[in-house]
Chains A and B, each alone.
Chain A
Amino acid sequence: MTFDPMHLIPVAPELFLLTAACAILVIDLFLKDEQREATYILAQIALIGTASLALLVGGGERQVVFSGSVIRDGMTDLLKASICVIAFGAFLYAKEYLKDRNLFKGEFYTLGMFAVIGMLIMVSAGDFLTVYLGLELLSLSLYALVAFDRESGRGSEAAMKYFVLGAIASGMLLYGISMIYGATGSISFAGIAEAIANDAVNNTIMVFGTVFVVIGLAFKFGAVPFHMWAPDVYDGAPTAVTMIIASAPKIAAVAMAIRILGEGLGGINADWQGMLVILAVLSMALGNVVAIAQSNIKRMLAYSTISHVGFIFLGLLAGSQSGYASAMFYAITYALTALGAFGIIILLSRKGFEADRLDDFRGLNQRSPWFAAMMLLLMFSMAGVPPTVGFFAKLFVLEAAIRVDLTWLAIVAVFFSVIGAFYYLRIVKLMYFDKPADSAPLQAGMDTQIALSVNGLAMLALGIYPAGLMAWCVAAVA
Chain B
Amino acid sequence: MSAQHTTHAHGAHDHGGHDDHHGDAEPHSSLRDYTIGFVLSVILTAIPFWLVMAKVIADRNTAVLVLGGFAVIQILVHMVYFLHMNGKVEGGWTMLSTIFTVVFVAIAIAGTLWVMFHMNANMMPEHPTPTPATHEAPGHSTP
The answer on A and B forming one complex is no
